Amino acid sequence: MNAYLSAAKYILLVAVDQYSSIHATNQLASFLVSHLYAPTPTTPLVLSQLSTICVGNTTLQHKLISCMDEHLESIDTLHVFFDKMRKQVGEQMDEESILGVFVRRCCLAFARMEFYIVGSFFNECRQALRVMQNELEPECDPDLPSSELDLPSSNPGLPSSELDLPSSNPGLPSSDPDLHVTQLISALESHTPIPITTTRAVLSSSARTPYFHYLESLDLVRQRESTRSLSSL
């Protein structure tokens, strides 16, 4: 059984594998990553070729960035990406093949991530994508009047719903973990599809309710599972 995976999909799969390895060691995935993506003397040449080969009016490198941007529009689109990859295993690829095992492992690693870790992972992916976009921006002529410059926005491709999270590794102690959780709670509250007065009332009635229980509850509300959200508090 054959399956085609685009470069953008490979990048996201490898990224989630490397990110999740902070929390759980996985020798198989590490082995696959080291063999599939080990730097070689030809790596710079390949990257250079990506930026020069054109498909229509777009280089392959720009094409790759646009595909990545599509999967990283929001945390929801990231969930959709891994849901589709999970369905693709078995339908379009052999579950027992090296590729099938690797994809299943990556999807499982993503599914087992706590929601606040998914938020950090999403944010760091967006930052990496922004760096790639900035590297491809043409240098502006200093003699050209500013009115004639077609300048991109300060955050190219950055959705307004992106979480402003600390960039520290989620598996390590944060210098201010309360701030990290508070930022996530604030971001979730601002994008909740239904009123959350009830969950706030439950929270205020118990001073010992951990922040993370409230965070889990908000995530369930975001998924429109209000009954489960209340039971998690």
pLDDT bucket at 40, cuts 50 / 70 / 90: low
Residue with the bigger pLDDT between 218 and 178: it is: 218
Task: Write the pLDDT tens digit of every residue in 169-189.
Answer: 444 333 444 554 555 555 555
Among 104-108, 190-194, 222-226, name the one with the lowest average pLDDT.
190-194
Q: What pTM was computed for the model?
A: 0.42
Query: What is the average pLDDT value for the chain, to the nearest integer?
Result: 59
Q: Which residues contact 165 (CB under 8 A, 6 or more apart)?
A: 119, 120, 123, 180, 183, 184
| Residue 171 to residue 24: CA distance in whole angstroms | 10
Domain ranges in the chain are 1-38+46-137, 175-233
Q: Which residues contact 155 (CB under 8 A, 6 or more apart)?
A: 130
